[in-house]
Structure 1
C-alpha cells in the first residue's frame, strides 16, 4: 500500500485509538508503581549546555561539546541532582550513526555523574521552522529565541513525511531500548502549545500553523508516536505531560479534559505535568494527579516571577515523592533567565530583569541564589 494512503487510513481510525482508556501496550499501574518504587526522589533540570541555543546545536556533530556537558553535569551532581530532561530532534536522525554515537557519549557522561535523563522526542514549543546546520546567534533580549519545534510546521503539514518521523522514533528508541542509563521517554512536550505569544497567531511573527489545525494534527498523531516507541521495544516508561492549568477537580474529571489531554493520560505509563504556579497550587494538584494510581513527576517548574521556587516546592514534592525537574540549569544561549514576556518587552539597551526567571547557575558557575542551591541539596540529601 502507498505510504501516503496508509497514513491517511491511520488518521481515519485515530479517534478510536485516542479515546481508548487502556492504550495498546501501556504499562499497568502495578508495573509503573513497581518501577517507580526503585527510584530515588527525582530532582533535576531541563538541560541544554550553555553553549547551545537549541537541540540541534547541542547534538549536531560540529557543535556537540562533551567537555562542557561533563563540566555542567558535574555541577548538577555536586548539588544532588539525579536526572535531567533533555530534548532530541527528528532532524538529527538524518545522521543515524553519528547521532546514536553522540547520544551514547552523552549518556556515558550522565552515568559518570549518576544522572539518568528523561529524553524528549518531540516538542511543540518555539520556532516552527527548524533547519540543520549552523544555528543563528541568540536574539538579544528574548527568552528562548532559538529553540526549535520537532517536528516543524512543514513536517506536521505533510503526511508524506510521517514515515520519516516514525523511522526517527523507532530508530532512536530501538537504539537505547534496554539502556538503564535512561530514566524514561517523554514522547511529546506540550503538544497543544500554539506559541500564541511568540511565533503564533497572536504575535507579529506569525510563522506558526493556525492553532486549531496544529492541535488537531498532533491530537491525531500523538497516539501513534506512543505506539512507535512501544513497537521499538522501549523498556523504559513513556509519558507526555499535561501543562495547561486546570483545577484539581477538573483533573479528576475526564469530561473536563481536552482531546489532547485524553490522549496523554490514556497513553502515558507515568503521569507528568508542568507547574509554574504557587506552592499552594502544587499542594492541591498533587493529590488530584496521584488519584490515577500512577507515579507522578513534575517535568517543568521554577519560574521565580510567578512564585514557583525551589525552597517552597521541593519539600512539598519530596513528601509526596513527586519528582521535580525545573526549567534551566546554567545560563547561556537559550537566555531563559529572561521571562516569557520578553517577547513583548525585549530586554535590550542594558535592561535586565529584576529577578531571573529560570536557571540555577550563572554562566560563571556561581549560583543565581545560594539559598536555592542549599534547598536543592537539602531535598536531595547532598
Structure 2
C-alpha cells in the first residue's frame, strides 16, 4: 500500500514538473537578445577612448564592390593608407560592405574582411562595419566597376541591396544569410567595435540618370527592411552594439520621439548607441543636434561630417564632438576614385579642375595633405594638445 502511495506522489511530482516546463520554457538566446539597456551602453562606451577616424574606402576603389571583390581587393594600398591614419592618431574607421559580395563568394568575402581587420588591428584601428546603404546608384552590379566620371562626386557608389530587392518585400528574406553570416562570424571579435546596420535608409537618389531608377514610397520599403535587419542581428546577438544613424529632418524634432517620422523613430528606438550625421555649415545646428540627441541618454557617435565648402570643417566640428566625448568619424580619408574632393553640386554643375576647397578627404594619394595646417590641427586635437 505504501509503495503505491509513493509511486502516486512521485508521478504527480513528475507530471507537475513537466507541466511547468511546458508552460514556462527557458528563453532561447534569440528571445533573450534585445536592445542594450542604457547602463550596458554606457558601460561599453566608458571603456573606449575618444573615438576618432574616417569613413574608409581605399583610394583605388570607386565603391564597396571594388573595395572587396577578389580581383580588386588591394591590401597594399589598404596597409599604406591605414598607416597614414594611425600616424594621425585615428583609432576607428567606418567601412561599408555589400550583400552582393556575400552572394558572390561568402567564404572569400569573409577571408578578405579578416585580412582587412588584421591590417587595421596592426595599427591599433577598430572597425565599424556598415551592412546596408540606401545611398546613390539604385542598381548595383557585380564584376568590373565603372571608371569614375571626371570631376563628379562619388559617381560610382552603389546602394545595398538596391532597388530590385528593396522594392520587393518578398525578397527581403534573401538578405538574412548575409546579415547573420557576417555578424555571426565577427560577433565576438574585438577588432570590430560597432555594427552600423543600415546607412541613411530612405535616402532617395536625386542625381541625373539615377532619380528615375529610384523606388516610389521608398520610405515604406526601407522601414520594412530595417525592421528585419535589426531582428536578424539581434538573433545573432553580437557582443558589439548595433546602431543606424539619424541623418535628416527638422533638428527641433530630433530629441522627441513622438515628433519623428516612423522610420527615424524606429532608428532611435532600436539603436544601442545613437549615431547621427552632421554636415551642417552652421555650428549652432551641430550643437543643437548634440543637445537634442542627449535626451536619449545614450552614447553618441557622429558617423559622418566634413563638408568644407559649407563651413563644416575639422576645426569647427571636432571641438564640439570632443567636448562632449562624441565619436568623430569624417567622410573620406585619401582622395581617389570616389572623387569626393568635389562637392555634391558637381552632379549638376561642371568642374574641369580640382576644386580650390576640397569637399571631403584629408590626404592625396601620395600621402601629402590637402592642408598642412588642417593636418596639424587634427593631430593636435586627437593628442589632447587642443
Quote how far apart the aligned CAs of 1:272 are: 0.3
Paired residues of 1:126 and 1:199 also in contact (CA < 8 A) = no
Which of the pair has more CA radius of gyration?
Answer: 2
* Paired position in structure 2 for 1:255: 258
Choose the corresponding residue for 1:207, options 182, 206, 213: 213
SS in 2 for 1:45: strand
* Paired position in structure 2 for 1:33: 42
1:14-163 matched pairs, under 5 angstroms: 25-94=34-103, 95-163=105-173
Q: Distance in 2 between matches of 1:199 and 1:151?
A: 19
* Paired position in structure 1 for 2:199: 189
* Paired position in structure 2 for 1:368: 370
Paired residues of 1:116 and 1:181 also in contact (CA < 8 A) = yes
Paired residues of 1:310 and 1:372 also in contact (CA < 8 A) = yes
Paired residues of 1:304 and 1:357 also in contact (CA < 8 A) = yes
SS in 2 for 1:86: strand
SS in 2 for 1:122: coil
Paired residues of 2:138 and 2:210 also in contact (CA < 8 A) = no
* Paired position in structure 1 for 2:273: 270
Paired residues of 1:194 and 1:200 also in contact (CA < 8 A) = no
Deviations 1:25-47 (A, max 9, x none): 10001000000000111111111
* Paired position in structure 2 for 1:170: 180
Q: Distance in 1 between matches of 2:332 and 2:83?
A: 15
Quote how far apart the aligned CAs of 1:24 are: 6.5
Paired residues of 2:132 and 2:161 also in contact (CA < 8 A) = yes
* Paired position in structure 2 for 1:240: 244
Structure 2 unaligned residues grouped into runs of 5+: 1-31
Quote how far apart the aligned CAs of 1:371 are: 1.7
Deviations 1:180-200 (A, max 9, x none): 101100000000211224555
Paired residues of 2:58 and 2:77 also in contact (CA < 8 A) = yes
Paired residues of 1:127 and 1:199 also in contact (CA < 8 A) = no
SS in 2 for 1:313: helix
Quote how far apart the aligned CAs of 1:228 are: 0.6
1:380 aligns with 2:385: no
1:346-357 matched pairs, under 5 angstroms: 346-347=350-351, 350-357=352-359
Shift of the 107–198 alpha-carbon distance from structure 1 to 2, 3 Å rule, reads: farther
Q: Distance in 2 between matches of 1:149 and 1:26?
A: 27
Deviations 1:66-114 (A, max 9, x none): 1100000000000000001100000011211100000000000010011
Paired residues of 2:86 and 2:123 also in contact (CA < 8 A) = yes
Paired residues of 2:33 and 2:237 also in contact (CA < 8 A) = no
Q: Distance in 1 between matches of 2:309 and 2:33?
A: 41
Paired residues of 2:163 and 2:215 also in contact (CA < 8 A) = yes
Quote how far apart the aligned CAs of 1:141 are: 2.0
* Paired position in structure 1 for 2:321: 317
* Paired position in structure 2 for 1:359: 361
Q: Distance in 1 between matches of 2:265 and 2:207?
A: 25
Paired residues of 1:223 and 1:267 also in contact (CA < 8 A) = no
Q: Distance in 2 between matches of 1:147 and 1:153?
A: 14
Q: Distance in 2 between matches of 1:167 and 1:113?
A: 31
Structure 1 unaligned residues grouped into runs of 5+: 1-22
Count of matched residue pairs: 351
* Paired position in structure 2 for 1:339: 343
Deviations 1:152-179 (A, max 9, x none): 1111123343222011000000010000
Q: Distance in 1 between matches of 2:40 and 2:69?
A: 36
Shift of the 117–346 alpha-carbon distance from structure 1 to 2, 3 Å rule, reads: farther
**Given the two structures, how large is their TM-score scaled by the length of structure 2?**
0.88
Dislocated runs of 4+, deviation >4 Å = none
* Paired position in structure 1 for 2:221: 217
